[in-house]
């Protein structure tokens, strides 16, 4: 194990033995190894993590089947909604696509209410990963281009439960398999009514307010009113979030923003 995992492996095992009342030999007995594995897996008890094969989405993946049940199909998503009191949600992502559509989906996912705006995220030519967290939830989204299709999943988990959440995300990612089927856009009738506040049945995060402004330089800086940005944790210009408030003047009521 030292050769495979690094020189600190025996030291780590010895430390675990000391913490658990065993002789610190640096080599685990069979019983100690079983105890360590049981403790590691205990955090997942009650989740009933098992493989789910969704033929319509063309995806096989482990998910916490004790917490979610299959719900609506609204391309490109198959929703697995909470089946109990814990607000856990799984989305399977499946659609025909290329790099352009992957980039579009990456932008769309970040507008959804279930994806908090704060968190690490990144897009490359063939995949994306989005992490988002706030005081109520933590969300992980990943998708990849596979043989002319975009396949992936999202996991929405309650906040302040990182030990379980990160383990579930790891299990889901490791078990993910793309099958031949792809969820086609026509899987739901095209004339089905949908609110402008929804994307494929999911609530879109809406701005607190929208106000006009004036571009004042070549860098894209915008002059607007102080009222327009009052109580805003994030400010967007032309739909692009993350604008910086350079100046606010209560006397004139003007504010200056920079993209």
Query: What are the domain boundaries of the chain?
Result: 2-42, 49-202, 214-258
* The model's pTM: 0.72
At 204 the pLDDT is 63
How far is the C-alpha of 72 from the C-alpha of 39, rounded, in Å? 36
Q: Kindly state the average pLDDT of the residues 160-177.
A: 96
Which residues, in sequence order, are bridge partners of residue 63?
A: 50
At 54 the pLDDT is 98
- 202 phi and psi angles, rounded to 5 deg: -105, 140
At 111 the pLDDT is 86
Instruction: Find the range with the poorest average confidence among 85-94, 109-118, 236-245.
Output: 236-245
At 208 the pLDDT is 67
At 65 the pLDDT is 97
Residues 6+ apart with CB under 8 A from 171: 44, 49, 62
Phi-psi category of residue 200: left, alpha or beta, with phi > 0 → left and psi -120 to 50 → alpha: left
Instruction: Find the range with the poorest average confidence among 5-9, 201-205, 212-216.
Output: 201-205
Q: Kindly state the average pLDDT of the residues 205-213.
A: 75
At 218 the pLDDT is 86
Q: How confident is the model at residue 187 (pLDDT cuts 50, 70, 90)?
A: low
Instruction: Find the range with the poorest average confidence among 67-81, 92-106, 177-191.
Output: 177-191
* Half-sphere exposure for 99 (CA within 13 Å, toward CB): 4
At 143 the pLDDT is 98
Q: How confident is the model at residue 205 (pLDDT cuts 50, 70, 90)?
A: low
- 41 phi and psi angles, rounded to 5 deg: -85, -15
> Which CATH code fits 49-202?
3.40.1000
At 196 the pLDDT is 38
Pick the residue with more confidence: 222 or 89? 89
Name the E strands within the chain.
49-54, 59-64, 68-74, 77-82, 89-96, 121-123, 127-133, 137-146, 149-158, 177-178, 198-199, 202-203, 214-215, 222-225, 244-249, 254-258
Q: Kindly state the average pLDDT of the residues 57-71.
A: 97
Residues 6+ apart with CB under 8 A from 49: 62, 63, 64, 65, 168, 171
CA distances in angstroms from 175 to 59, 144, 170, 178, 255, listed in the order given: 10, 14, 9, 10, 50
pLDDT mean across residues, the chain: 87
Q: Is the per-residue pLDDT at 7 higher than 80? A: no
Where does the chain have alpha helices with state H?
A: 2-5, 9-19, 30-42, 99-109, 162-175, 226-229
At 27 the pLDDT is 84
């Amino acid at each position: 194990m030292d050769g495979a995992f690094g020189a600190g492996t025996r030291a780590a095992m010895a430390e675990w033995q000391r913490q658990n009342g065993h002789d610190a030999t640096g080599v685990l007995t069979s019983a100690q190894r079983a105890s360590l594995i049981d403790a590691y897996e205990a955090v997942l008890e009650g989740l009933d993590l098992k493989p789910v094969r969704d033929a319509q989405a063309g995806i096989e993946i482990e998910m916490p089947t004790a917490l979610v049940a299959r719900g609506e199909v609204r391309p490109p998503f198959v929703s697995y909604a909470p089946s109990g009191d814990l607000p856990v949600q799984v989305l399977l992502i499946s659609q025909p696509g290329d790099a352009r559509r992957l980039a579009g989906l990456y932008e769309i996912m970040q507008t959804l209410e279930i994806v908090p705006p704060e968190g690490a995220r990144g897009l490359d030519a063939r995949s994306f990963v989005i992490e988002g967290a706030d005081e109520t939830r933590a969300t992980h989204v990943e998708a990849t281009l596979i043989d002319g299709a975009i396949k992936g999943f999202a996991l929405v988990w309650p906040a302040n439960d990182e030990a379980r959440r990160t383990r579930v995300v790891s299990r889901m990612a490791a078990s993910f398999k793309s099958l031949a089927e792809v969820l086609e856009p026509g899987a739901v009738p095209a004339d089905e009514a949908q609110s402008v506040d929804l994307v494929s049945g999911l609530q879109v995060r809406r701005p607190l307010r929208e106000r006009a402004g004036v571009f004042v330089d070549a860098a894209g800086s915008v002059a607007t009113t102080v009222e327009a940005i009052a109580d805003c944790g994030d400010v967007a210009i032309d739909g692009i979030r993350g604008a910086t408030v350079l100046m606010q003047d209560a006397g004139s009521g003007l504010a200056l923003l920079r993209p």
